[in-house]
Amino acid sequence: MLVEQIYTGCLAQGAYYIESNGEAAVIDPLREVGAYIEKARKNGATIKYVFETHFHADFVSGHLDLAAKTGATIIYGPNAQTGFEAHIATDGEEFRIGNLTIRVLHTPGHTMESTCYLLFDEKGKEYAVFTGDTLFIGDVGRPDLAQKAANLTKEDLAGMLYESLNNKIKPLPDEVLVYPAHGAGSACGKNMSKETFDVLGHQKATNYALLATSKEQFIEEVTTGLQPPPAYFPQNVALNKGGYESLDNVLSQGMTALAPAEFVTVAEVREALILDVRPGDEFARGHIPGAINIAIDGQFAPWVGALIPDLKQALLLVTPEGQEEETVTRLARVGYDNSIGYLKGGFEAWKAAGEEVDTINRIDAQTFAKHVKIGTDLILDVRKESEYRAEHVEEATNRPLDFINAWTSEINPDQHFYMYCRSGYRSMIAASILKARGIHNFTEIGGGMNTISETDLPRTDYVCQSKIMQA
């Protein structure tokens, strides 16, 4: 028996490869399926099934390409309705993979079709449960993503989730391994652990949601403190449910190399958004005017999904040389299939061609501490509200990056302000967006609170009520 978790940190997503006696299955595969196919080939195994725990909202699954390339059957749980050929399993239905058995446990609550898969070993003993977004390590799936489609409230779905957990999951033996679809960093829950698997007994003893003593308590705890989901979630659900373009075709289009002059022409003709994925320091020193910076070395795909509302938006890419294909692939993971080319030779080729260059005024924390006047200067903290409430620079105003489209109009373009996040990743994204919208009178703090905390600047958890207002 081989059970392997294949974890992708930038998406905080876990896929699973299961193999026994020449047969294999994959649970919740990523869109690029070559690694699963190659693993099976090397082991002399045939991929028999692709199990989906639900219609994912935060990424585009690889079920269609994997089935098309291997002949595997796609399996969904009860209530699933797909725009492609799939086997819709019944609760309790079992599937054989070599000498192993997988049993369907229908666990509605996160979504109506949400399903866990219980794996029995060669001796028929419960070995592991693949819980999708029903049960995470330290958390459970949020119940507010499918409420409109199900014509139910989040409280209704939370009640279903409580019943699913108590009737289907908690009765399993304590030694059963819990393999969820996500870990810390995913927007599909609110309190996920950095650990990516656990034994069920430990979760029963420590997971706040499993410790709830009543359905009412569970509903209140699970529905309290939920942040609005990223805007791209419903669009990813639609792709996973209805079908999508083959990744091979997406890569073929996105891997079009464009010299600087051609890059400019295509950007104008196709009304393309220029997405620069280089590190923030490089972007600050020089970039194409109007480009948006979301560095690939970070939570790249989720931030693209949160800040670029239209999955069909034409994208032109500026990448570190050699990372063009990786960038197109990461975009496709969250449904952005309209990459139409990249800058050949990277930003160095742009400069060599004598094209216009813009910069960001980025300073380090020590310089910030030396020059800022607390109580006089405007300071924006673009972290999440929970981070801000824990600790922030005294008199800083919280304006989370997630809601930049809502607060940009508040800014007086004539008033200078400072801006920071935790590390500089998010504040550089914000800086690039503001620059693209014609707001230039600001200074961004490289290193963010990680380095500001090393200075003598006063910090507090007091919530500053000041406003940033358009003059």
Asked if residue 72 lies in contact with residue 49, where contact means CB atoms within 8 angstroms, the answer is yes
Q: What is the CA radius of gyration of the chain?
A: 24
Do 245-352 and 362-460 show the same overall fold?
A: yes
What type of residue sits at position 345?
G
What is the per-residue pLDDT for 77? Answer: 97
Distances (CA, A) of 316 to 258, 292, 323: 9, 11, 14
Non-local (6+) Cβ contacts of 197 within 8 A are: 5, 14, 137, 177, 178, 179, 180
**Tens of pLDDT, residues 355-393:** 999 999 999 999 999 999 999 999 999 999 989 999 999
What is the per-residue pLDDT for 16? Answer: 98
Asked if residue 73 lies in contact with residue 87, where contact means CB atoms within 8 angstroms, the answer is yes
Start-end of H helices in 289-445: 300-307, 324-333, 346-352, 365-371, 385-390, 404-407, 425-436
For the domain made up of 2-234, give the CATH fold.
Metallo-beta-lactamase; Chain A (3.60.15)
Q: What does the block give as tokens for 12? A: 């905080």
Average of per-residue pLDDT across 84-104: 98
For residue 421, give the nearest of 383, 376, 379, 467 by alpha carbon: 383
Dist CA 109 CA 81 (whole Å): 17
Q: What does the block give as tokens for 364? A: 């380090």
This prediction's pTM: 0.91
**Tens of pLDDT, residues 188-211:** 888 899 999 999 999 999 999 999
Q: What percent of the chain has pLDDT over 90?
A: 90
Q: In what order do the strands lie in the sheet with 315-318?
A: 257-258, 339-343, 315-318, 273-276, 292-293
Dist CA 255 CA 343 (whole Å): 10
Dist CA 312 CA 337 (whole Å): 7
Asked if residue 313 lies in contact with residue 269, where contact means CB atoms within 8 angstroms, the answer is no
For the domain made up of 245-352, give the CATH fold.
Oxidized Rhodanese; domain 1 (3.40.250)
What is the per-residue pLDDT for 471? Answer: 43
Average of per-residue pLDDT across 438-456: 97
Asked if residue 107 lies in contact with residue 129, where contact means CB atoms within 8 angstroms, the answer is no
Q: What percent of the chain has pLDDT over 70?
A: 99
For the domain made up of 362-460, give the CATH fold.
Oxidized Rhodanese; domain 1 (3.40.250)
Q: Which sequence spans correspond to the domains of the chain?
A: 2-234, 245-352, 362-460
Report residue 146's pLDDT band, with 50, 70 and 90 as the boundaries.
confident
